[in-house]
Structure 1
Amino acid sequence: MSAVVPPASNELQAEAFKRLYPNEYYAKFISKSLRPDGRPLGGARATTIGIHPLESTSSSALVKIGNTTAMAGIKLQHFAISSDQPVEGTLAVNMEMAAFASSETRPGRPSDAAQCVQEQIRTALRTAGAVKLEELAIDKSHAWAVFLDIYVLDADGCLLDVCLLAAVAALLGLQLPRVEVNDQGQVVTKPISGSASDSRRFGLKAVPMALTCGLYSGSLIADPTSEEEALVASLVSTIVDASGSLVGLYKAGGHATADEGLLLQCMEATKLRYKELMILLKQALAEKGIEYS
């Protein structure tokens, strides 16, 4: 007697249709101004920010937007300033993707996407005037080197948005220890008294944030997942500061002349997203007793 194979469930049929005909599957949702995960076209995914999740760093932050997850950690090191150098510290940004972050990531091979986002973050911090390197000086002959490392744990779209937010959150949580230079020219930590004066806060002068948008059949799609990024005609990432001024703009795919409207829409969407993210960031900092104004 032959076995009876039950008919496929609606969920299985939908999944099969999605895999075989991804564009047609997605278009059915977009026609109703919705997306497969239930979000409106301009809606961002759920976002969480954790400050100081790592005890082994001077500061750290864990950020999740949807499934996309990035950890930022900061290590400090003091160095001697030579007589022909400016009296200022340094900020080094490094970004890596875990081998399991996406199906396209390969162990032992630098990710092109990571290197691109790494440079975008460096440029955003510099263009926004976020870091004043002279404030990293200990005295006229010594300064702090800030090593900011960002690790992508899950790459499900919008890497720049998540990694920039993680970088900013870690920098805002950074405290510089109180040190002094002794008679031998050595940098030594001052005795800990248990008071707030044992360290000083490293303050950012500006907080840049990003939002990535895609264009699909004439519709603006905010904060796309990796599946959506593969389907849209073009992607635009805009970075703004608290005043709404444009700090950076990056575009991938499509034709520039055809997407001018997308650029303007994405800029306006980024300004709104900035306000949402700032509320979450201030809440995360407040949970750790860090005030931000």
Structure 2
Amino acid sequence: MSAAVPSSSNELQAEAFKRLYPNEYYAKFISKSLRPDGRPLGGARATTIGIHPLESTNSSALVKIGNTTAMAGMKLQHFAISSDQPVEGDLAVSVEMAAFASSETRPGRQSEAAQCVQEQIRTALRSAGAVELGELAIDKSHAWAVFLDIYVLNADGSLLDVCLLAAVSALLGLRLPHVEVNDQGQVVTKAEMGGSAAEVRRFGLKTVPMALTCGLYSGHLIADPTSEEETLAASLVSTIVDASGCIVGLYKAGGSATADEGMLLQCIEATKIRYKELMVLLKQALAEKGIQDTGI
């Protein structure tokens, strides 16, 4: 009488096959229009948004899509505007990977992926008109500088999607202290002028950009790929759209531009659908913190 093979043994064999033959392992799932984690090809991973998790910042957000996790923190600092400068504030964006975020992260050195995401977010927020820097002006001589720092805690694929969502979530939760410039040219709060210290004003976004990364594997489009799926994909496309469906940014890595033209169109349409899903989650997260006058 033969002994039954323990299920743990079968799991070990499956894991060994996956490591030795990743393409063959993945192809078995794709042929059934499924992913190894049970998702359909066009399905994104579970997403959570937390607003103001850090009390030490002016605004913050913690976002998770699957295992990919990013924390966005914001600090305000006022500065004097010189006479030859426009009357507007400034927005500085930085993206940093934690040393344990992925196997490719090296302590003390910014990763290439973080640099790319940093520039893509800066472009989406500033060049696309999402942020109106004029609204950061205190008066004609002083303005706010906003330092948006995004810290990647786990990089398990679709890094731009998570970091951009963390950035806009923190920005929508930002409230600017109500300050004035006194006769001595100093920026003072309402409390220092004898008013209420609780007075703040909302800093809104003109548009809320959202991103979705898609991969092409054996002619199939897969949405929100994990890091493992990204390594197997023939090419990757990250699309950023706004509420009206306009393309704010499109970034493609690998593959032939002509051969993947159909993929680009599919990814754009998938991003528009994903936008609606993320907006529902974002509004819920803001409402939980009593933030409802965002204009979104």
User: TM-score, structure 2 length as denominator?
Assistant: 0.95
Q: Provide runs of 4+ in structure 1 moved above 6 Å.
A: none
Q: Distance in 2 between the 1:102 and 1:10 partners? A: 28
Q: Which runs of 5 or more residues in structure 2 are unaligned? A: none
Deviation of residue 127 (structure 1)? Answer: 3.4
Q: Secondary structure at the match of 2:12?
A: helix
Q: Secondary structure at the match of 1:149?
A: strand
Given residue 240 of structure 1, which amino acid in structure 2 is its aligned partner? V
Deviation of residue 128 (structure 1)? Answer: 2.6
Q: Distance in 2 between the 1:257 and 1:179 partners? A: 54
Whether the aligned pair in 2 keeps the contact of 1:128 and 1:241 (CA below 8 Å) is no
Q: Secondary structure at the match of 1:280?
A: helix
Q: Secondary structure at the match of 2:206?
A: coil
Deviation of residue 87 (structure 1)? Answer: 0.6
Q: Secondary structure at the match of 1:230?
A: helix
Q: 1:273 maps to which residue?
A: 274
Q: 2:132 maps to which residue?
A: 132
Q: Distance in 1 between the 2:15 and 2:129 partners? A: 47
Q: Distance in 1 between the 2:284 and 2:197 partners? A: 25
Length, aligned pairs only: 287
Deviation of residue 125 (structure 1)? Answer: 1.1
Q: 1:203 maps to which residue?
A: 204
Q: Secondary structure at the match of 1:101?
A: coil
Q: How does 1:173-192 map to 2 (within 5 A)?
A: 173-191=173-191
User: TM-score, structure 1 length as denominator?
Assistant: 0.96
Whether the aligned pair in 1 keeps the contact of 2:189 and 2:197 (CA below 8 Å) is no
Deviation of residue 9 (structure 1)? Answer: 1.2
Q: Distance in 1 between the 2:109 and 2:190 partners? A: 42
Q: Distance in 2 between the 1:271 and 1:127 partners? A: 20
Q: Distance in 1 between the 2:28 and 2:208 partners? A: 38
Q: Which runs of 5 or more residues in structure 1 are unaligned? A: 1-5
Q: Secondary structure at the match of 1:18?
A: helix
Given residue 144 of structure 2, which amino acid in structure 1 is its aligned partner? W
Q: CA RMSD in A?
A: 1.3
Given residue 218 of structure 2, which amino acid in structure 1 is its aligned partner? S
Given residue 34 of structure 2, which amino acid in structure 1 is its aligned partner? L
Q: Distance in 1 between the 2:124 and 2:182 partners? A: 37
Q: 2:72 maps to which residue?
A: 72
Deviation of residue 194 (structure 1)? Answer: 6.3
Deviation of residue 110 (structure 1)? Answer: 1.3
Measured against aligned partners, the alpha-carbon deviations of 1:141-167 in whole angstroms (never above 9, x if no partner) come to 000000000000000001000000000
Q: How does 1:68-107 map to 2 (within 5 A)?
A: 68-107=68-107
Q: Secondary structure at the match of 1:122?
A: helix
Q: Distance in 2 between the 1:193 and 1:176 partners? A: 14
Percent identity, aligned pairs only, is 87
Q: Distance in 2 between the 1:53 and 1:38 partners? A: 30
Answer yes or no: is 1:52 the counterpart of 2:52: yes
Q: 1:142 maps to which residue?
A: 142
